[in-house]
Structure 1
Amino acid sequence: MTTRGLREKSTDNQDGLNKLHKRVQAIEVETHSFGDPMRVRNALADAITEAREFSAPHGNPDHIDGVAGRYREAAAIVDRAQGDLGKVAKDGLPSVWVGTAGAKASEVIKAASYSADQMAQKFQEAVPALRALSEGIREAQSKHDFGVSALDVAASILNNGDFFMPADELRRAKTAILDGVSSMGEAAGHAKAAGIEAQKTLTKLASEARARKVTASGLTDADRLVLADAAAPGGPADLNEILTANELKRSSEFMDKMSAHDKAEFDRLLSAAKSPQERAYLMKALAAGHGLKEIDHFAQQIHGRSPQWLSDRLTPVVIQSTEPGTNYVNYQGAKWDQGPDGTCVASSTVNARAMVDPLYAFRLTTGGHPDDPKYDSPLAFADRLKQEQNRVHAEGGGDPLPDGGMNPYGQQHINDVEVGGHTGGDYAERKLGNAAERQASLVDIERNLDNGVPVPVDVEGGTGRHAMMIVGHEGDRLQVYNPWGTTTWISEDDFVNNRMGYTNNGYYPTAYSVYLPK
């Protein structure tokens, strides 16, 4: 899927037409002096000429409707294929497929069935998005045509009048111009809104075409399917894929840069893995920038572990659903929270890094000594987490604890180092001074989330300020991690209109800043 060309010049047209509308409104129709009628007539004529320079909203609604129809047909074809694959996955492979070969084939069949099911869903989701875009453009073009007709009426009034036109005729012409410019401005805004909505939906759907992002040489199409679809247990698979789109891309790039010797050794680690989840965590470690020696030791420690064991220690946030409500983030009952100290910035950053770096998560949860109660226990985890939060707080130049706090420069720095250093991006602060700025930021926020890059968010209220992390996006909802040890789904409307308090017991309702990769 592509979103190229959805945002046309209507973005500039709307602003230009709004400014023109204000200038026309300011034209005073006076007849008290000999020159005023001619001056007014010329000003109105100039306004008509300027308005006609604004093009109609671009796009071919009939063509877009045709594309939507083809997506619907494709969904039906893939759905039939998924039924066949699902039957094979359910009934099992022929008895001749035994041992390792049978296990690998079973993984591939299950991944192919799941991918076909997801593909059919994505094609179906694209259809209403394209239909809405088509209807939005059609309505916008109709509004623009109405505006042009109003300008034609105004021009006719000016052209057919006497040399010195009476004030009532000039007022009629001015009213027609205002109607025309207003309608054209509404058309531009309508087209812009339709384009943005389609862009958001199609960009997300494109980011979910995950297997195509695994481009490393040496991996088969079957490998790509299994890696892209491996998910942590505990919630819907499509909400808990282990490898994000960004990680699929980065791990492939790192593989292609390996020497022949290192590539062979990494391939051996992947082949020896006992489950798709184990294999995916090795790729995730590579995407986070770890070297082969570290990954080899990590592979030995997690080898043969169950998917649930891996998820408990390597995936801090498992999504049960996207329904409103608060979920607690914990390890063996110990919460991933900041405790009583003012380390909200550092604590959010530590959790975000654990989400993108499985070796880091492993060190926090097990101390690098899985199954040893001295290290792998709730108390030991809580102690390590607190030490790590304090370390990051100090590196960000945080204020003395327990009150704490951190300035924007420090917050940007620790996100660059702790998160950006493992996702490939440097963060920059974007101020959110009002609802319009929060609304405008959503496209970039959601694009990063869809690619698997967490977005820090600062919130404020009557009791002060707080730092959290936006870690997920689904439909019109955002998942927010609060370093009090919870995650909460909120709507885009909540984010825009000062209802962030759903994530923090109502203390800090307003998002005033986010940090986005440059």
Structure 2
Amino acid sequence: MTTGRLREKFTDNQDGLDKLHKRVQAIQVDPDSFDDQMRARNDLAGAISEAREFSAPHGSPDHIDGVAGRYREAAAIVDRAQGDLRKVAKDGLPAVWVGTAGAKASEVINAASYSADQMGQKFQEAVPALRALAEGIREAQSKHDYGVSALNAAASILNNGDLIMPADELRRARTAILDGVSYMSDAAGRAKAAGNEAQKTLTKLASEARARKVTADGLTDADQLVLADAAAPGGPADLNEILTANELKRSSEFMDKMNAHDKAEFNRLLSSAKSPQERAYLMKALAAGHGLQQIDGFAQQIHGRPPQWLSDRLTPVVIQSTDAGTNYVNYQGAKWDQGPDGTCVASSTVNARAMVDPLYALQLTTGGRPDDPAYDNPIAFADRLKQEQNRVHAEGGGDPLPDGGMDPYGQQHVADVEVGSYTDANYAERKLDNNAERQASLAEIERHIDNGVPVPVDVKGSTGKHAMMIVGHEGDRLQVYNPNGTITWISEDDFVHNRMGYTTNGYFPTAYSVYLPK
């Protein structure tokens, strides 16, 4: 069962039942006349009929439990395979496999071992999500049955009474109907919550099935594994994959559109790369929409560089862990920050573009001359960063500096041009005026983040307003880049309940707007 079908299948009746409950409460059961009594009796009977039209929550808890069991069995099988792969990776390949072929074979073995480990973890994570879904449906169906029983009791009271019923019997019937409708509403709410929670978990797990997104002709299954699993050093590999899910898909699509000559040339660049990381950055450049000529020049600049060198210059944000706390984003000690000027929108946008466009990141960090110490140094980087922040600020029609600021139209425009152009995203503002709207936006925010598309977020407090960028998601946490040069993990609950101040030393606790791809 796909997550999309899950959401559709458990569409709830809660709103309709809650409205019916209010109407039943309004029925007068202390009649002044025979006509009033008959009207009350008919209204109560009509409410029973209407309530019975609401179906019980769908789904088979036993079937879902069975699926969870099969996932557990699959995890055990993958774990055994991963053990074998780990042994091969540790002990080395047979002596006959030497040279370039041997090196690339070891890359595949390591990638397969890593993928098997990740696959087993995902299967294991799916098990409690499915178990919780089964239990949620089971409880919801039981609650609905209680509601039906209460409605039957109310119908029995109305049907067994004399032509003229005492007011207390009418009150008993109304109470039973209210109880029945409440049970049914609670059942619908439980089914909805269970379905939404399962959808959230399973959608994230599906987005992490990364290798299947590499579909380009000419790339083997081994290529797919190595590209999908290539990670920047400095933190857990599963938090620092170089290619996002969106980039894996886009790069494959761009490859398939190439003519035979260009595809052969691009494949030559990939095959000559000296590490999985180098190969992944070439694919990332393609995903950003760069042409073969640009990528060829980029390939010459990064060819044979160590993975740490590549990460330092091409990956602005390396996630060290998901622990609470704040870390600085810097290049050779110079922070990726906005300085004293009010360019928070522009600065967030510049950093986001550098995260999705490695050619842009290389230009910022090295000035496009990575072997020239006059260009590749922290002072020169800080100067280039400031120039880019000012350029994007002007592009968005920002207010005069140093105070700065930018209106929503300008913020959307620079997000579209500077980030959306390289991720195939067109942004639109969504207001977050209360906790309910922030809660409702979470699933969509996290879906885009899981696919590798940064999400601008605006925050406010007693001292004013500020713009930041949501750039990561893991479990129930969001990673936020603050253009003061820091990244911070916050919980979903922090985002919803006005505790965004963790990212800004307490100054801007309330998220009031996000910009989401349409």
Question: Are 1:2 and 1:206, in contact at CA under 8 Å, matched by a contact in 2?
Answer: no
Which residue number corresponds to residue 217 of structure 1?
A: 217
Alignment partners' CA distance in 1, 2:12 and 2:465: 36
Alignment partners' CA distance in 1, 2:262 and 2:155: 75
1:164 to partner: Cα distance: 2.1
Counterparts in 2 of 1:322-471, with a 5 A limit?
A: 322-471=322-471
Which residue number corresponds to residue 266 of structure 2?
A: 266
The reply on whether 1:118 has 2:98 as its aligned counterpart is no
Alignment partners' CA distance in 2, 1:61 and 1:120: 24
1:42 to partner: Cα distance: 1.0
Spell out structure 1 runs of 4+ moving beyond 3 A.
8-12
Which residue number corresponds to residue 275 of structure 2?
A: 275
Alignment partners' CA distance in 2, 1:92 and 1:12: 55
Question: Are 1:13 and 1:188, in contact at CA under 8 Å, matched by a contact in 2?
Answer: yes
1:8 to partner: Cα distance: 4.0
Which residue number corresponds to residue 256 of structure 2?
A: 256
The reply on whether 1:311 has 2:328 as its aligned counterpart is no
Question: Are 1:430 and 1:516, in contact at CA under 8 Å, matched by a contact in 2?
Answer: yes
1:10 to partner: Cα distance: 5.0
1:32 to partner: Cα distance: 1.4
SS of the counterpart of 1:176? helix
Amino acid at match of 2:64: I
Alignment partners' CA distance in 2, 1:26 and 1:336: 61
Which residue number corresponds to residue 301 of structure 1?
A: 301
Q: Which runs of 5+ in 2 are unaligned?
A: none
Amino acid at match of 1:359: L
1:30 to partner: Cα distance: 2.3
Amino acid at match of 2:382: A
Question: Are 2:12 and 2:191, in contact at CA under 8 Å, matched by a contact in 1?
Answer: no
TM-score by length of 1: 0.99
Cα 1:307–1:133 shift into 2, 3 Å: same
Alignment partners' CA distance in 2, 1:430 and 1:59: 33
Which residue number corresponds to residue 86 of structure 1?
A: 86
1:100 to partner: Cα distance: 0.3
1:34 to partner: Cα distance: 2.9
Alignment partners' CA distance in 1, 2:399 and 2:174: 61
Alignment partners' CA distance in 2, 1:205 and 1:69: 17
Which residue number corresponds to residue 515 of structure 1?
A: 515
Alignment partners' CA distance in 1, 2:103 and 2:144: 61
Alignment partners' CA distance in 2, 1:11 and 1:340: 50
Q: Which moved more, 1:29-38 or 1:99-108?
A: 29-38
Question: Are 1:448 and 1:454, in contact at CA under 8 Å, matched by a contact in 2?
Answer: yes
Alignment partners' CA distance in 1, 2:398 and 2:164: 73
Percent identity reads 86
Alignment partners' CA distance in 1, 2:11 and 2:65: 23
Alignment partners' CA distance in 2, 1:403 and 1:161: 77
Question: Are 2:12 and 2:189, in contact at CA under 8 Å, matched by a contact in 1?
Answer: no
Alignment partners' CA distance in 2, 1:335 and 1:91: 41
Amino acid at match of 2:149: S
Alignment partners' CA distance in 2, 1:172 and 1:469: 56
Question: Are 1:465 and 1:508, in contact at CA under 8 Å, matched by a contact in 2?
Answer: yes
1:166 to partner: Cα distance: 1.4
Alignment partners' CA distance in 2, 1:454 and 1:301: 27
The reply on whether 1:198 has 2:173 as its aligned counterpart is no
The reply on whether 1:231 has 2:231 as its aligned counterpart is yes
Q: Which runs of 5+ in 1 are unaligned?
A: none
Amino acid at match of 1:467: A
Question: Are 1:8 and 1:58, in contact at CA under 8 Å, matched by a contact in 2?
Answer: no
Question: Are 2:455 and 2:514, in contact at CA under 8 Å, matched by a contact in 1?
Answer: yes
SS of the counterpart of 1:305? coil
Alignment partners' CA distance in 2, 1:134 and 1:304: 51
SS of the counterpart of 1:4? helix
1:127-169 CA-partner distances (Å, limit 9, x unpaired): 0000000000100110111111111111111111112221111
Question: Are 2:10 and 2:195, in contact at CA under 8 Å, matched by a contact in 1?
Answer: no
Alignment partners' CA distance in 1, 2:99 and 2:393: 50
Amino acid at match of 1:334: A
Alignment partners' CA distance in 1, 2:144 and 2:5: 19
Amino acid at match of 1:471: V
SS of the counterpart of 2:238? helix
CA-based RMSD of the aligned residues comes to 0.9
Amino acid at match of 1:243: L
SS of the counterpart of 1:55? coil
Q: Aligned residue pairs: how many? A: 518
1:26 to partner: Cα distance: 1.4
Question: Are 1:8 and 1:192, in contact at CA under 8 Å, matched by a contact in 2?
Answer: no
Which residue number corresponds to residue 54 of structure 1?
A: 54
Alignment partners' CA distance in 1, 2:428 and 2:11: 25
TM-score by length of 2: 0.99
1:212-267 CA-partner distances (Å, limit 9, x unpaired): 00000000000000000000000000000000000000000000000100000000
Question: Are 1:8 and 1:57, in contact at CA under 8 Å, matched by a contact in 2?
Answer: no
Amino acid at match of 2:115: S
Alignment partners' CA distance in 2, 1:62 and 1:285: 47
Alignment partners' CA distance in 2, 1:337 and 1:169: 72
Which residue number corresponds to residue 20 of structure 2?
A: 20
